[in-house]
Structure 1
């Protein structure tokens, strides 16, 4: 079958990252003989009406769309356009949003024919095999992790997480072309270029109430064999000229021995690359030996999900950390000579203005090179979302969701107040002379400088 996999263009977002999920899916589908194309509309700046021109002479039988919650503002126009261009094509969606709420997706978007729940490498392949059976059977209950309409109802099967993720191989890098992506994929800084993101494992056993990662990758951590991982990195270096790797696991440092083995293997491979951990790590899973091994193998930046300075809020959101543990973990990173960037969330339910101000103050007290301030977002499928009242859910404005706008309004605090505090936190952190100089010293070119200025202005003014 001819299958077009699409990553939507979102004008509200300035993040442009290779779509690893679509890459893994393409590898799985190709292994069964399907003809696959990946169209990253965000990278190529392809508007909906121009999609047919971006894939000339390719009439897809199946269109698969990677659907994140932040794609809601563009999804209706995209789906209407695709049905207009290729009315006979089946449209399927997968990713975090349809995984969290498949019924709502099928109810709200009539152009979508099927939703995939969780990992889709196996289920999508089985789905296509079912469509191709000569018997004409449509018993979709045989496909794991699928939602569909049948007799005016919506049915679904449980998602499936393979215990062995090495069977998925590598993303179809030849379809993604990672060297064509911009340098600032995660955050806005980098050491070397080109850059490629990779996954060493899937899954997260923690129960943070605001996090939806477990919906897409499960609770059980499953690791790739290090020899397979090193083979992929070597191929990225050799075939695409990659000079920096971003490990985007949900929990890279969970298994200490795995991390140490990976670092030794990377040093022995002599690939001369730098690498980072931009998605955040658990500060209670770090120690001096691990950090020094990571630095020796080329790690220069770790992002840490601090979230808040309030021990009360940390308990409320089931973070499993205390403020003291956060300080101790960051101290270890600092002593190892590795830069640290922090993630903070403002406006948790029941959070007071005093607690928000304390978090902003705390972020300046920590030895961080960069800080990102988000407002609380109750993602569908999370415990935090389930705990909202009907009125609170009604106040969420998904059409403005871009990780900078205030989507959720906490009780007693206006959206304008929260957005102003977010801006104040940003300016009070970065306009300190020491922090400003450290970041200016890492600018690689005039183009990089203009990108940073454009991004900062966009963030402050939206």
Structure 2
């Protein structure tokens, strides 16, 4: 059968990585003998014409979309368009939001035929077989669907052995576009989280028991990714350091192979030691991210975080001692938040900053499935919006009894302004010649990313990047000058910035020139 998998729009400001979950689903489907395409609305411009062409040429039997809360509206819109173009196509949606709002989606969204709940690899293969063979849907594990006027759900335990999964089908993803944008590529070494934080759906989504991949398979995948030119690999495990033996085994496998690769991971402050961090650094880890959440001991107790501030200080100092870059994040507006607890959090953030540790503030987003949302009456929280597009955690959509949303917004906005001032200072020092190339690079790379993203999402290389070769093209060996001229009128960026970004993309072979039958054609190197 033919299946199209949909990655809905997600803003570039959120640093998206190639859709790993869809790559796992596609791999499972291909291994079962199906034909799969991925419609990626993150790095390609989406339109009705684009979808209509795909539907006409590919003729899918099943269209499946993934969605987090912030992207669910776009996912549902695309599925609605699919149904309008071909009502015979079975439509499916999965991901965290759909898993915990399955009944709501089926009641209110006629364009959705079935919801995949939890891990999707086994489910989507079983769904395709059911469609192919006329099997009743109640025999498909891990779905919610309509049966007459009733909603039905089937159970699916978490996959016991992750080594049974087919390697992610990244050949179906335009990895080259993510690479050109400076985004990282992600992979996992485990699934599951044993902790009970009230603001997170991880434990409910992938289970409390952590399941681990064979370290040899993990490093095989890392080795393959290391050849693709990404600046870093993000280990997207909920908690890479949950099991010390597994963590060290992965590091030792990297070291034994002599593999040189930069990677990052998530950790809890109570699961790291000097030995673990030193081994991680030697194996290529550059950054460890810790969720601290609050600088108030009382708040940490309320949210069932299970850590102390002393453990935070000890963990980040160990990272610094071992040559790792620790990042810490905080969540404002958790249950019981008061002006006093906010002040404690801000003060603790300043303490970490004085140690040389980066930190950032987000605001609680009460995602479906989280304890704070499902038991809202037990907490002093008010949810101000169910506009899912606002669930990006950068502006307040909640209030507590003691803290207004404007207060939390002001803290996050101040952090954004500090970042803007940092960039402006780099720009000033660039103009005066005070800054080194290394110091200037974060600003330069950001400028390149903004221009390249604009080129991609306006489809300008596809629209303007081909012409009949002439004498001027012979003089311009790379053909860059004419490309710059042709796209510049469509971009609202300084000419120098457009030129720098395009030359950067050409020099790094993110953009490629092909000559055929007297035509010069420029294109993004999409597939690696």
- Equivalent residues in 2 for 1:54-93, closer than 5 Å: 57-93=57-93
SS of corresponding position for 2:226: helix
C-alpha displacement at 1:444, in angstroms?
5.0
Deviation at 1:356, TM superposition (A): 1.2
Task: Between 405-414 and 375-384, report the one with greater CA deviation.
Answer: 405-414
Of residues 158, 161, 165 in structure 2, which corresponds to 1:164? 161
Counterpart pick for 1:268 among 248, 256, 267: 256
**CA separation of 1:450 and 1:351: change in aligned 2, threshold 3 A:** farther
**Kept in 2: contact 1:301–1:340 (CA 8 A):** yes
Describe the shift of the 1:48–1:268 C-alpha distance in structure 2 as closer, same or farther (beyond 3 A): farther
SS at match of 1:254: coil
Superposition deviation, residue 392 in structure 1: 3.2
Give the alignment partner of residue 136 of structure 2, picking from 136, 139, 144. 139
Cα distance in 1 between the residues matched to 2:303 and 2:31: 42
SS in 2 for 1:147: strand
Quote how far apart the aligned CAs of 1:173 are.
Answer: 1.3
Instruction: Give the deviation of 1:106 after TM superposition.
Output: 1.1
Matches within 5 A, 1:18-417: 18-53=18-53, 57-133=57-133, 137-182=134-179, 195-238=184-227, 240-242=228-230, 244-277=232-265, 280-366=266-352, 367-389=355-377, 392-393=382-383, 395-417=385-407
Q: Measured at CA, do residues 442 and 350 of structure 1 come closer, stay the same or move farther in structure 2, by a change above 3 Å?
A: farther
- Taking the aligned partners of 2:52 and 2:361, their CA distance within structure 1 comes to 38
C-alpha distance in 2, partners of 1:414/1:453?
Answer: 37
Q: C-alpha displacement at 1:443, in angstroms? A: 2.8
TM-score, with length taken from structure 2:
0.77
Give the TM-score taking structure 1 as reference length.
Answer: 0.87
Match of 1:446 in 2: 444
Rounded to whole Å, the distance in 1 between the matches of 2:445 and 2:407 is 34
In structure 1, the partner of 2:412 is: 422
Measure the CA separation in 2 of the matches of 1:431 and 1:315.
35
Deviates more, 1:352-361 or 1:146-155: 352-361
Q: CA deviation at 1:72?
A: 3.3
CA distance in 1, matches of 2:203, 2:180: 28
The secondary structure found in structure 2 opposite 1:43 is: coil
Query: Residue deviations 1:414-441, cap 9 Å, x none?
Result: 33232112212444588689x9899983
* 8 Å contact from structure 1 (residues 16, 182) kept in 2: no
Task: Give 1:155 deviation, angstroms.
Answer: 0.8
* Alpha carbons of structure 1 residues 283 and 99: separation in structure 2 relative to 1, 3 Å: same
Which 5+ residue runs of structure 1 have no aligned equivalent? 187-194, 456-462
Contact 2:193–2:208 under 8 Å retained in 1 = yes
User: Which moves more between the two structures, 392-401 or 251-260?
Assistant: 392-401
Distance in 1 between residues matched to 2:375 and 2:443, nearest whole Å: 47
Measure the CA separation in 1 of the matches of 2:359 and 2:165: 35
Structure 2, gaps ≥5 residues long: 427-434, 454-528
Deviation larger for 398-407 or 202-211: 398-407
Query: Could you say which structure has the larger radius of gyration?
Result: 2
SS at match of 2:250: helix
Question: How far 1:12 sits from its partner (Å)?
Answer: 8.6
Contact 2:181–2:449 (CA under 8 A) maintained in structure 1: no
Equivalent residue of 2:441, what SS? coil
Shift of the 267–254 alpha-carbon distance from structure 1 to 2, 3 Å rule, reads: same
Root-mean-square deviation (CA), in Å? 2.9
Q: Secondary structure at the match of 1:205?
A: coil
SS state at 2:317 partner: helix
8 Å Cα contact 1:397/1:408 also seen in 2: no
Shift of 1:77: 2.9
The Cα of 1:11 is off from its aligned counterpart by 5.0
Query: How much does 1:349 deviate?
Result: 2.0
| Counterparts of 1:6 and 1:427, CA distance in 2 | 35
Contact 1:210 1:382 in 2 (8 A): yes
SS at match of 1:253: coil
Q: Deviations over 1:300-338 (max 9, x none)?
A: 111110110011111111001111111111111111111
Whether the 8 Å CA contact 1:179–1:196 is kept in 2: the answer is no
C-alpha separation in 1, matches of 2:300 and 2:438: 33
Secondary structure at 1:293 match in 2:
helix
Q: Contact conserved, 1:308 with 1:344, CA < 8 A, in 2?
A: yes
In structure 1, C-alpha distance between the alignment counterparts of 2:346 and 2:45, rounded to whole Å: 35
C-alpha distance in structure 1 between counterparts of 2:15 and 2:316, whole Å: 26
Q: Relative to structure 1, is the Cα distance of residues 243 and 263 closer, same or farther in structure 2, using a 3 angstrom cutoff?
A: same
Rounded to whole Å, the distance in 2 between the matches of 1:357 and 1:439 is 38
Deviation at residue 452 of structure 1 after TM alignment: 8.2
CA 1:439–1:206 in 2, change beyond 3 Å: closer, same or farther? farther
CA distance in 1, matches of 2:49, 2:77: 9
